[in-house]
Structure formats: structure tokens, C-alpha cells
Amino acid sequence: MAELDWKAACRAADALCAAWPDDTPGGTILIFDRNGMRGTAQGGCASLVHGLPFTPDTPTRFASITKHVFCAFALNQGLDMQAPLGALHPGLPAAFADVPAFRALSMTGGLPDLMQSYVICATPSSAMLDVAALDAFTLTLPGLDNPPGVEMSYSNTGYRVMEQALAARGAVFRDWVEVTLNSALGTRFVFPAGWDSVVPGLADGYWREAGGPWRIGGYGMALSASGALTGSARDLSVWLAALLRGEGPAGGLLDRMATPVTLTDGRAVDYGLGLAHCRLGGRPLLGHGGHLTGFKNHFLVDREAGWGVIALSNREETDPFLLALRVAAALTGATLRDPAPNLLPEGFFVEADGPCWIEHRAGALTFLGAREMLYAGDAPGEAVSLSPYLPIRLQRDGDAIAGEIGHVARRFLPVRTDAALSSGFAGTWRAAAQHATLTVTPDGMVEAGGGALFRRAALMPLDATRALMPVGALPWPGRACAWLHAPDMLRLVTNRSRVLDFTRA
């Protein structure tokens, strides 16, 4: 391996942070090795309200970066990763009971994501939902998105379930973080119960519509081990350096967390226990990202060489994975993959059967509502994502697009320009267990939500039995596939929730 160029990495970090003016939200990039911090850069504000700069010591929301810390905790507590969820957490929906713990934590368990499931039911992500409401809704989920071990499909639900299972045994994640970790490492991690919990000095998260004013983000779900942790870039670097050294509460855990999980067909995925794998110039790296409203984060570490990069930002439009990759490339002299804007035909495409669809525009591919940028793959004409959470490997196949998404073979056909809905869509539809109702009018409009949350929007036909339906709200608007898979059964499907059926009233 080439000698590490710390000065080049710091210059790259400075240049990236310079794109965040002082009067806008910003963030920080921190470079470290096993022995501590090697450089920092920062730009923009942690609080536009108070004019506070974002620094390496600013507490912020780590979001899903929390996951790898929770997995370290679970291993530290001796959790049997082979145990089925039903044995660890009695009372779960029957379909969840046989899913092994390691699958629930490695994105291969097929568990529907809780937030995407209730957003489908016209409840916005900003709605304030306490633990009791979330638990009650979880019990209504009727099945798995896919059989365990056949697909890589991101879900937060397993982390919430496992946190509760360990707490019932007296092992409380919050206590381990705020007492054990902070005492051992000198960090200042906080595990708030909700978005409105007070965390001293916490940065605000910001978003905006195109060219509009900045707005402070909100999030309503009671927080959990899937993404609650707060702390500074410096705190995170101290923990990651200890993990790389294998010392203290992090001792002996990294290899177990980093080991890739295999699918039932024997193929390894780029995910272990709360840690994702990627490659830079052929060199293996570990890391994880995090995203809550207005907060975008990512870290990368080189386990063998013992260095890492952290990128934290409080602006929704940031691509922190790319920021971390660019600094890592400057550090190691590696070359990033080329973008692939023209390898695939553009437009909407749908599988011959089922609810799966894609949209491709200028190198950005959306699969069931989840969006990833595409890059040139190893094979001629191949377009791939860099994401370990939504692995994509596709090629042009005549007018179609074929390959793999989530390690599942798929082939998508172009949507016809004259696509029209069946008259069977029209009517009122109810998901009784979830207390959700929607109406499709004869002219192809969908009406959902009640009171001030009532919304009316147009369905976009993919063919006679499938249409795209707007769900969610700013800053996270989305689209679900409304699939008329039986005359009196309408299923609403997103990438992370594929099980909710609405029956004709």
C-alpha cells in the first residue's frame, strides 16, 4: 500500500468544507488513526438561529451510525446471534418469530421497516409517536418483505426489537453508552429518547426546497438503537480508534462485527453486524452512514492500516459517503469510480410481474422509491451502486434493464407510454389492522389521510394493475407502488415495506 498522505487528506477535507458558507448549515470532516486525530476541517453553522459554528466538538445526531455501536453492545452482552426473535422477544408477530437475531441486525431478515410502513398508511414521519404506539403498530405487520437470507434489504425494525429484547433482560443500551462507554473513553455520547429530548449544544438539522430558505427538520418516531445516538465527531473518532485498537469496551469486537453475512445461497453480502463493506482502489474499508431529517453522516475505517474518516453534516442535501470517499482517496492516492450517467436507458421500467419498478435519470436509479447514484462497473456496460445497503448491478438488455438489485436477479421492461389503469382500481380500500383507508376515484386520483392530513394526488400508471402513488411529505416525499394483485386486494409497496394489503370496502 502507498504511504498515507495526511496533508493531502487535510487539503481535500478543507476544500470540501469550504463549500459550506458561514451563514448556512455545514458540518465537519475528521481524519484519524488508531492513536487519535490527524486533522479536521469544518464549515457552516450548527445553529442558524444562534449563529454557532459547526466544529469537531459539536454534538450532532449520528442517526444510523448508532447501529454498529448497538451491535458492539449486543455482542458485549453475550447475545446469541443465532437465536430466533421469538425466543428473545415473545409476543412479536408470528412471521417475525423465526428470524434469527443476526439476520435482523444485518439487513437480511426481511423485516418491514416500521417508519415506511406507517408512512404508507398516511402517517407522516414527523408525527409524534411514542414507544407504545410504535409497538402496537409493529404487532399489526402481517409478514416479511422477503424470506430471511434471500435479499439485502435495509430495515430499522430489527434494531428496535433487539434493543427491547436486551432491555427486558436488564441490559439497557442507553446505560452502556452513557455510563460504560463515556467513563472508559472520556466521550460525551447521549442517547435521547426522542427528537424533543434536550441534548446540550446539539446541532439543528436543516433542509430546504430547491433554492428556498433553510428550515429546521423534525422527526416524530420515538428514537431507538436504530439511530438515536448523539455525539461529536471527536467522540466518534475516539470510539472508532478504540475499536480499531481492540481496547476497553470495544475489545475483541471488530472482527465479529465486520464478518460479512451470507445469504442462504452462500453468497456474502457487504454487511456484517452494523458495519458495511466497500472498496476504494481495491482496498477493503468498513463504515456506516446515518440519516435523520437534516442530518447526513458517514464514516469509513481501514481495519488493516488503522485509519478512518468521519463526515458529519446538518444539511439534508449533503452526500457524506462521497465526502468520506474523496478524503480517503486523497489520503491513499486511490482513484474513485467514474459516474455512469449514460450506461442505462432512461425512463420508467417495471418487472413483468409483481410490484418492483425502477426509474433511471442521468445516472440516478430509483428502485421502489430508494435512490442511488450509478457508477461504471467492472464489466463492460455495467452500472453499479457504491451502496452496501442497496447493491445494484445492472446492464442494458435491448430495451430492458437486467441484473441484480439487493442480490436478487431482476429484469425490468420499459413502461408503455399509453399505460392505463384498470377500472378495478376505483373504490375505497381499507387496511383494517392498521386503521388506514384510501380511495381511488374513477379518474385515477387517490385520496388518503384524515382531517388536516387529507391529501389528493394523481396515480401514475405503470400498467393496468400497477401504479405509482405519492406517499410521505417534505422533506422526504416518496412513491409507493399500488399493486392490484387480486380483484379486491391492493398492496402498497416501497423498498423497505412490502406487506401491507388494503381490501376493497
- pLDDT tens digits for 225-283? 999 999 999 999 999 999 999 999 989 999 999 999 999 999 999 999 999 999 998 89
Mean pLDDT of 5-26: 97
Instruction: Kindly list the distances between the CA atom of residue 227 and the CA atoms of 60, 271, 277, 401, in Å, as whole numbers in the listed order.
Output: 12, 17, 19, 34
> Please, which pLDDT band fits residue 137 given cuts at 50, 70 and 90?
very high
Residue 316 to residue 304: CA distance in whole angstroms: 32
Average pLDDT value for the chain: 96
pLDDT at residue 387 tops 70 = yes
Lay out the sheet containing 436-440: strands in order across: 455-458, 445-448, 436-440, 427-431, 497-504, 489-494, 478-486, 466-471, 460-463
pLDDT of residue 198: 96
pLDDT of residue 161: 97
pLDDT at residue 93 tops 60 = yes
pLDDT of residue 415: 98
Cβ atoms of residues 69 and 187 within 8 Å: no
pLDDT of residue 210: 86
Cβ atoms of residues 466 and 415 within 8 Å: no
For residue range 174-195, what is the model confidence (pLDDT) as tens digits?
A: 999 999 999 999 999 999 999 9
C-alpha cell at 127: 408525527
> Please, which pLDDT band fits residue 452 given cuts at 50, 70 and 90?
confident
Mean pLDDT of 120-129: 94
C-alpha cell at 235: 467522540
Residue 300 to residue 86: CA distance in whole angstroms: 34
DSSP bridge pairs for 478: 471
Cβ atoms of residues 290 and 324 within 8 Å: no
Mean pLDDT of 467-482: 96
Kind of pairing, strands 427-431 and 497-504? antiparallel
Mean pLDDT of 403-414: 98
Residue 426 to residue 412: CA distance in whole angstroms: 26
pLDDT at residue 1 tops 90 = no
pLDDT of residue 211: 81
C-alpha cell at 35: 492513536
Residue 472 to residue 460: CA distance in whole angstroms: 16
Reduce the DSSP state of residue 76 to 3 states and report it. Answer: helix
pLDDT of residue 65: 98
Residue 299 to residue 23: CA distance in whole angstroms: 25
Residue 243 to residue 127: CA distance in whole angstroms: 36
Cβ atoms of residues 243 and 254 within 8 Å: yes
pLDDT of residue 181: 97
Reduce the DSSP state of residue 29 to 3 states and report it. Answer: strand
